[in-house]
Structure 1
Amino acid sequence: MKILVIQQKMIGDVLTSTVICEALRKEYPDATIDYLVNSNTKPVILGNPFFNTIVEFKNEYRNNKKAFYSFLKEIKKSKYDLVVDAYGKLESNLISYFSKAPKKISFHKWYTQFLYSKVIYRNPEPITNASIAIENRLRLVYPEDKIATNIIRPKIFLTEEEKNTSKTYLEQHKITPETPLIMISVLGSEMRKTLPFDYMAKVIDEIVTTTSANILFNYIPNQEKDAKAIYNLTTQNTQKHIHFNVFGKSLREFIAILSHCDALIGNEGGAVNMAKALDKPTFTIFSPWILKKDWNMFEDGITHESVHLYDTKPELYWDKTPKEMKDQAIELYKNLSSELIIPKLRSYLQNLNL
């Protein structure tokens, strides 16, 4: 049996959707499973044993119709028996159709359901603490009555060489296991997913005051200016604990460094998902427009905790549609002050006993 799983979204979605591959491997142990993802997300799934091959969806396929058509013909030649489309957008609709697989499964959309042999309705409410994101993906493989008993956690696989190289890199900067090490997700993927800078600075100050930990910032090169702005808003004492120039130059290097951290704290996004996949404690600050129940994976109030504006000020949401919440995210963020975050954060850090 030959299976293709499609997920062309961002890093967090691609990592989370590996649970589909793992579930399929359990159901069809002898199957060949290919995982189709965007090229830039490939590093987060390297070494994963639950699929055989990574099929890269390259940028040129989006920008060049001829290249995309050639890619579709290659998909058809692969003769898949089953396609699981977890993406459900035009590109994956076409990939599913051109595959000519006898069985094609995706989430229900009234305007594309005719393309698939089976469509799955998303459940809007979680039945476990795994989150809606995990449970709905598993519905693409398991019947409803098997979801709760077949929960799977996303996993990241590092080589020993990667772990050792990152450990040496940290030691070269005088960062050793004797002092707690906390990664801060200081910036989201966009400003609508980023806690206001002055609030984040106060959060970092609290972390240092409570734990005296070494602090690393998670940011990409084009975010350096904003990351530095947050650094400059912290106290002089906090800045002594921040190793601003210690960071991964690639996604795999970041993951390897993260594997040596004691926790990740900060804005919700791919970094949080990666920390959880490495079995690292997390404290997540959700953007006001993101539905917490969708992505609060395995939250237990101890190892994994979070804050969301809705938890303290639900009245701000009563007359707003999801689109309005997204459009007004930056304004809503102003209500999620550090004073609302810090008490819960302090309790979380004390429970971790770093």
Structure 2
Amino acid sequence: MLENIKSIAIIKLSAMGDIIHAMVALQFIKSNYKNIKIDWFVESAFSEVLKNNPHIDNIYELNLKSIKKNKKEIFRQIQLARKYSKNRYDLVIDAQGLIKSAIVSKLIGRNVVGFSKLSIREKFASNFYTQKVAISYEKNAIDRNAKILSEPLNFTITKKDILNKEPFLYFENEDKKIYKFLSKNKKNVLLIIGASWPSKMYSNEKFAKITNSLDENYLIVWGSETEKQIAKSICENSSNAKILPKLDLNSLKALVSSVDLVIGNDTGPTHMAWALNIPSITLFGNTPGYRNTYKTNINRIIESNSKVNPYKLDKNDFSIKNIDENSIVKVAKEILYEEKNQRLL
């Protein structure tokens, strides 16, 4: 054990799914270092995902994305990051592996850990680190995060540990109207129809067919006007689906924790189900299923036939839309109705 490590800063700025993949390590850090102080630096848009977590002492928000709209904003963000160097962290861990996250890490502390040059896409970032962790970029993202956040602290998070994890998303004072949409007589299935790219989004026509194949209570969440229109399209072709009002991330966490199954694209809200030990089916087209989630009896993946290169994702690959909806229905039946699949492992 490294007794001199009393405080660490974790730099994981975005996006939601990536943040969730890293958060799993917190419970294991705390089990090895009960009194360690953990602060997390994140893009302001995603801070709600981290809130209420008992393993995080402070959440510090940055807004590096604002620089794209206003180049002068870079000076304010640098000044903000430098201010946090006064916290005098014993260790700063860049779990992102980007040049921007590496710069933020170096501004915040002197002793910075990050991925080795051959472990990240933006290889120049490794020049900012005083200690480097090696793990192939092609490896599972959850395993990568577990290693970068445990190796510098001289312990190991095993696959068995991750499979036996405690749920690690927390919420309080959620919008109580979400519970009015839940059925007591049918299984509640949450559909995550959005994603960061259109090519990561499953067919709305096929989503509708799924809702008509199993007579259960389907709830659709959305985060943009485009997604809302897709949700309306699904409901127009389904008698079992309902559109939810727009939810904040705190209420979304509460909703995910309350449903029987989440079916969705490879995106943050779908990964919430895995984090909360809720059954899920994640759909993959132009992103690698083997890399972006953990499979369990209740957390399944269905992939298109595309051969995906994790180093160079093809945003013009819409193969996710070719996934047969009947294969999704088949897996949904196994999860919802077969008792043997009610176990996590």
Report the TM range for the smaller structure's normalisation.
Answer: 0.7 to 0.9
The Cα offsets for residues 96-119 of structure 1, whole Å up to 9 and x where unpaired, read as 222342x31111224232321211
* TM-score (ref. length: structure 1): 0.81
Cα distance in 1 between the residues matched to 2:78 and 2:138: 38
Q: State which of 59, 78, 84 in structure 2 corresponds to 1:75.
A: 84
Cα distance in 2 between the residues matched to 1:350 and 1:154: 23
Map 1:133-144 onto structure 2 (within 5 A): 133-143=141-151
- 2:292 is matched with 295
- 1:336 is matched with 323
Cα distance in 2 between the residues matched to 1:136 and 1:341: 28
Q: Is the 8 A contact 2:12 2:41 kept in 1?
A: yes
Residue correspondences, number: 321
In structure 2, runs of 5+ residues without a counterpart are: 1-5, 118-122
After superposition, the Cα gap between the structure-2 partners of 1:125 and 1:8, relative to the gap in structure 1 and judged at 3 Å, is: closer
SS of the residue 1:305 aligns to: strand
Q: Is the 8 A contact 2:98 2:125 kept in 1?
A: no
Cα distance in 1 between the residues matched to 2:87 and 2:261: 42
Q: Is the 8 A contact 1:22 1:51 kept in 2?
A: no
- 2:27 is matched with 22
SS of the residue 2:148 aligns to: coil
- 1:313 is matched with none
Q: Does 1:11 align with 2:11?
A: no
Q: Is the 8 A contact 1:201 1:231 kept in 2?
A: yes
Map 1:270-289 onto structure 2 (within 5 A): 270-286=268-284, 288-289=285-286
SS of the residue 2:9 aligns to: strand
- 1:129 is matched with none
SS of the residue 1:329 aligns to: coil
Q: Does 1:33 align with 2:21?
A: no
In structure 1, runs of 5+ residues without a counterpart are: 127-131, 311-315
Q: Is the 8 A contact 2:271 2:293 kept in 1?
A: no
Letter in 1 for 2:217: N
SS of the residue 1:3 aligns to: strand
The Cα offsets for residues 304-340 of structure 1, whole Å up to 9 and x where unpaired, read as 2221124xxxxx53xx75577614411x235323244
SS of the residue 1:264 aligns to: strand
Q: Does 1:85 align with 2:94?
A: yes
- 1:350 is matched with 337
- 2:185 is matched with 178
Q: Is the 8 A contact 2:303 2:320 kept in 1?
A: no
Q: Does 1:226 align with 2:230?
A: yes
Map 1:39-58 onto structure 2 (within 5 A): 39-58=44-63
Cα distance in 1 between the residues matched to 2:150 and 2:108: 22
After superposition, the Cα gap between the structure-2 partners of 1:321 and 1:17, relative to the gap in structure 1 and judged at 3 Å, is: closer
The Cα offsets for residues 19-56 of structure 1, whole Å up to 9 and x where unpaired, read as 33333333332222110011111111111011200010
Cα distance in 1 between the residues matched to 2:66 and 2:310: 31
Cα distance in 1 between the residues matched to 2:303 and 2:231: 22
Q: Is the 8 A contact 1:122 1:136 kept in 2?
A: yes
Cα distance in 1 between the residues matched to 2:52 and 2:15: 18
Q: Is the 8 A contact 2:170 2:253 kept in 1?
A: no
Superposition RMSD in Å? 2.7
SS of the residue 2:234 aligns to: helix
Cα distance in 1 between the residues matched to 2:133 and 2:51: 28
After superposition, the Cα gap between the structure-2 partners of 1:96 and 1:278, relative to the gap in structure 1 and judged at 3 Å, is: same
Map 1:85-104 onto structure 2 (within 5 A): 85-101=94-110, 103-104=111-112
Q: Does 1:122 align with 2:135?
A: yes
After superposition, the Cα gap between the structure-2 partners of 1:169 and 1:93, relative to the gap in structure 1 and judged at 3 Å, is: closer
1:60 Cα deviation from its structure 2 partner: 7.2
The Cα offsets for residues 204-259 of structure 1, whole Å up to 9 and x where unpaired, read as 222xx3xx221100211422112212222x3xxx32x2222x34531212222222
Q: State which of 157, 161, 170 in structure 2 corresponds to 1:157.
A: 170
Q: Is the 8 A contact 2:274 2:280 kept in 1?
A: yes
- 2:3 is matched with none
